[in-house]
Amino acid sequence: MTTVDARAELSALSGPDGSGLRFLVGQYVSLMKPRIIELLLITTIPVMFLAAGGVPNLLLVLATLVGGTLSAGAANTLNCYIDRDIDAVMHRTSKRPLVTGTISPRAALTFGAVLGVASTVWLGLLVNWLSAWLALAALLFYVFGYTLLLKRRTAQNIVWGGAAGCMPVLIGWSAVTGSISWSALILFMVIFFWTPPHYWPLSMRFKQDYAKAEVPMLPVLEEMVVVARQIALYAWAMVLTSLALVPVGSMGWIYTATAVGAGVLFLAEAHRLLASARSGAPESKLRPMRLFHFSITYLTILFVGVALDPIWHLALPGLA
């Protein structure tokens, strides 16, 4: 490609203010799905505080976050590459770069592969190799296990596929300790049980999108009352698992109060959705996005409790 051709292509990708390079960079960043990455980082940092029994080495935290961001970005980019056909069908994803053509499939595949290699090397050299292999395992499972194998074949896709999103807690713990503990595994299971009640309300809202794309999400295949009942069951499993950390991780009153309070609110919202579904309310009146948005708040609050508990214990051991 000549310099003139390159400039012409860049000009075609210009945003409203004519900032072509900035627009192009933004398109690549959007492939990484930064909002999802933010959610993953919310769980990584607090676990590092818990593993350290206080404030961890801040350079280690930064290195772990950079490596985790690159790894998650690689997984999300490759997911966009594989799912570009169904993204074009679904209204919610119709503006993604591979659908609009602002980024070519080959460029996206290359970008995702480079991010994957870079994240593994970064974590291995600057954190430790256990964290690097855990991040790589999460990436490969998300791409091959969830996106290629499960997503288009089973209504349980998000249940098992969500395991990839649980890995940041293991990565954060191993970054500090070089090992995995029962406390880390319990938090892994909290996120595992959290994923269905987080994602199924979203798929309830966009049921027609998934049906049109022929993706067998649970709300596409089952009545809303069945989906809402499953959401409530997973919510109970999530809350009870979060409380199991109290004896196993020797957690103090801050985490305990946080887990109980946030858990009660989550269960109340899940059962509100179930009651609405049982009443025969039309799908437009179920308001599942209330639970979707609160699920993010719940996870944030819970993991703030995870971070604050060891700090309080360290500062005021007699009151912990």
pLDDT digits (tens, 9 = 90+) for 132-164: 999 999 999 999 999 999 999 999 999 988 888
Q: What's the pLDDT score for residue 317?
A: 61
Q: Range of 250's domain?
A: 181-315
Check whether residue 188 and residue 171 sit in a common domain.
no
For residue 141, the number of C-alpha atoms closer than 13 Å in the C-beta half-sphere is 17
Average pLDDT, the chain: 90
- The predicted-structure confidence for 208-243, as pLDDT tens digits, reads as follows 999 998 999 999 999 999 999 999 999 999 999 999
CATH number at residue 224: 1.20.120
Check whether residue 58 and residue 146 sit in a common domain.
yes
Check whether residue 64 and residue 161 sit in a common domain.
yes
Check whether residue 265 and residue 208 sit in a common domain.
yes
**Residue 176: pLDDT above 70?**
yes
With tokens 């309070």, the residue in question is 261
* Stretch among 79-83, 194-198, 284-288 having the lowest mean pLDDT: 284-288
Q: What's the pLDDT score for residue 281?
A: 79
* Stretch among 189-203, 204-218, 248-262 having the lowest mean pLDDT: 204-218
Nearest alpha-carbon partner for 76 in 36, 106, 128? 36
Tokens of 229: 């009942």
Total structural domains in the chain? 2
- Among 158, 177, 196, identify where a domain stops: 177
Q: What's the pLDDT score for residue 19?
A: 54
Question: Is residue 320 in a domain?
Answer: no
**Residue 263: pLDDT above 80?**
yes
Residues 128, 179 contacting (CB under 8 angstroms): no
Question: Is residue 21 in a domain?
Answer: no
Check whether residue 32 and residue 172 sit in a common domain.
yes
Check whether residue 236 and residue 286 sit in a common domain.
yes
Please state, in angstroms and rounded to a whole number, the distance separating the CA atoms of residues 310 and 320: 9
Q: What's the pLDDT score for residue 10?
A: 45
Q: What's the pLDDT score for residue 319?
A: 55
Residues of the chain with pLDDT > 70, as a percent, come to: 92
